[in-house]
Amino acid sequence: MDAKQQKTFVGIILIVILGAVACCGLTVAIGAFVGYQEAQQLAAAGPPDAGSATAPSPDPDDPDAPPDDSPLRQQFADEILAGLADAGREDYVYQPATFDLVADGGAQISLDNLYDEYAARDESERPDFVDRTIRGFFPQDVPTEWARAAPDVVVTVRDRIFVELLAVRSDKPLDVLRRPLSDDLVELVVYDGPDSMQYLTDDHLSDWGKTADEVFRQGRKQLAARSKEPFTSLSPGVWESPWADNHDIGRAVLFDTIRKLEVKGDPVLFLPQRDHLLVTGSNDAEGLLAMGELLSERLDLPRSNTGRGWRLTRQGLVPFIPGADDALLTALRLEASAKDANEQKKALDEKYAQDGTDIFVGTTLFTEDDDGVQRTYCVWTRDADTLMPKADFIVFVDLDLPEPDRVVAAAPWDSVMKKLGSQVAPDDSFWPRRYKVTTFPDKRMLKSLGTHPFFRRNKE
């Protein structure tokens, strides 16, 4: 490992340390710099073997520590591996550090969402869940005859990051049928089989002799036919989908149905979980207040989606920006954006590890300002080529300085861009957009940027 790679790896370890305490305020985060010596030792030894790493054990003396579920996680992984082996796939290996299964050819199965569903079920229901999960890994073929396939062609909706991650992880151009519903939301079309849904591609169009418009039109028709029941009224002006058939968030495309709901102002849609579509009005202060609590509850369910919302206008769906009084909705939207960036980071880290690209993909971190409002920040580190995410603040770090002095500046994003925009290269090949930096500001510029009062007080 050369000097530059070593420093980049130290920077990565530092960001991991910061990320582990990202919700605890910057006082704790800056205090995490004491781990720098350990990071140097790790860098000298080289990156750890992800396949052999394990998550830290909970502190048994901490009354607030969550129960240790590692035995159940191991049990679930073992049952999935056994099911895959019975189906003829004995090449998958469990990686406890990332809670993934990885095959010889690079295929990867993330176990997080599946485990949440497994753990939430009664012990007697778990074998059946595992069986259905395994069957879902080997779905039946999509019929090549349109007449047979059409009754099970249904549209669905996903956050744009879902498609972007597929593209990052694919070794060829993505051919999944998709079209935008807004800047951060996409409509897709699936074949809804008995045990799984398969995303349809250009190859299916060729088999059927159909255009994408025809397939999407059929998918909306089928979804509307399955959506005859009325929305459930949770309180005046607050509505929830009743179907719970894995297609609830897909019904965000049923504009005519949603516009018939009695709400104040434009309908505002939230898609917290695949079986929950929530709607209230843009001018309904009480409805929006109630929505924050509902979202928090639904986001705790397995297979959660996002806490952001969309406003249904005459032109279609646009991102919903909560007002100043909607603190919880604002926080949930911020967390959703950070989740997008950090899931993107994970996918890019995996891609670059495979192809040998030497660049650090920055993390979106959280802190709480003096006014109690959550803020995001990213780190710009000396001598580490970095793809930064956009954040509220940029913290400048020099790892060559003594520990108490390593934060050399911290300023709002817009202020940094005004002074250092020429050193930052926006890259629109990524979504969310990333910003590449390969140089570091000089001392005069760092002094000009200064350290934002909040960061300075907490650093001290």
Separation of alpha carbons 81 and 94, rounded Å:
8
Partner residues linked to 239 by β-bridges:
233, 279
Q: With contact defined as beta carbons under 8 Å apart, do 397 and 379 qualify? A: yes
d(CA 433, CA 361): 12
The Cα 432–Cα 107 span in angstroms is 24
Whole-angstrom distance, CA of residue 278 vs CA of residue 267: 10
- Say whether both 221 and 259 belong to one domain: no
Domain count within the chain: 4
Q: Shortest CA distance to 83 belongs to which of 126, 130, 116? A: 130
Structural contact between residues 440 and 380, judged by C-beta atoms closer than 8 angstroms:
yes
In 10 A of CB 182, how many CB atoms? 15
Residue 424 dihedral angles phi and psi, to the nearest 5°: -115, 125
Q: Is residue 99 located within the same domain as residue 159?
A: no
When mean pLDDT is compared across 48-57, 62-71, 322-331, 418-427, the lowest value belongs to 48-57
pLDDT tens-digit profile of 66-86?
A: 578 889 999 999 999 999 999
Query: Which has the closest alpha carbon to 291: 274, 305, 271?
Result: 271
Alpha carbons within 13 angstroms on the beta-carbon side of residue 205 total 14
Question: Half-sphere exposure (CA, 13 Å, Cβ side) for 9?
Answer: 19
Residues 399 and 453 in one domain: yes
Cα–Cα distance for residue pair 285/245, rounded to 1 Å = 30
Overall pTM surpassing 0.75 (yes/no): yes
4 phi and psi angles, rounded to 5 deg:
-65, -45
- Same domain (yes/no): 97, 20: no
Of 358, 255, 240, nearest to 301 (Cα)?
240
pLDDT tens profile 285-313? 999 999 999 999 999 998 899 999 999 99
Structural domain boundaries enclosing 412 = 3-50+335-459
pLDDT-based confidence at residue 21 (cuts at 50, 70, 90):
very low
Same domain, 344 and 309: no
**Spatial separation of the C-alpha atoms in residues 334 and 389, rounded to whole Å:** 13
Identify the three-state secondary structure at position 268. strand
Residue 56 covered by a domain = no
Helix (H) or strand (E) holding 238: strand 238-240
168-226 residue pLDDT tens: 988 889 999 999 999 999 999 999 988 788 999 999 999 999 999 999 999 999 999 99
Residue 58, in any domain of the structure: no
Distance CA 316, CA 310 (A): 9
Name the least confident of 4-8, 91-95, 103-107, 305-309.
4-8
Mean pLDDT of all residues in the chain? 85
**Residue 330 domain flag:** no
- Same domain for 27 and 117, yes or no, is no
Residue 372 has pLDDT above 90, yes or no: no
Q: Name which of 334, 312, 314, 337 is nearest 322 in CA terms.
A: 334
Tokens standing for residue 109: 């199965």
Residue closest to 22 by CA, chosen among 351, 308, 389: 389
Lookup: tokens for 284: 């309904």
Q: For position 26, what pLDDT does the model report? A: 36
In this structure, is the dihedral angle defined by the CA atoms of residues 86, 90, 96 and 99, taken in order, positive or negative? negative
Can you read off the two tokens belonging to residue 298? 């639904």
Confidence bin at 35 (pLDDT 50/70/90): very low
Residue 59 lies in a domain: no
Burial class (CB in 10 A: 0-12, 13-18, 19+), 137: middle
Query: Looking at the structure, do residues 343 and 312 belong to the same domain, yes or no?
Result: no
How confident is the model at residue 61, as a pLDDT? 58
Are both 359 and 297 inside the same structural domain? Answer: no
Asked if residue 227 has pLDDT above 50, the reply is: yes
Domain co-membership, 177 together with 246: no
Domain final residue pick, 320, 344, 367 = 320
Give the pairing type, strands 360-361 and 374-381.
unpaired
Is the distance from CB of 220 to CB of 182 less than 8 angstroms? no
Residue 36 has pLDDT above 50, yes or no: no
Res 139: pLDDT: 79
Angle at 307 between CA 301 and CA 309, to 5 degrees: 135
Say whether both 154 and 173 belong to one domain: yes
What distance in Å separates the CA atoms of residue 284 and residue 263, rounded to the nearest whole number?
8
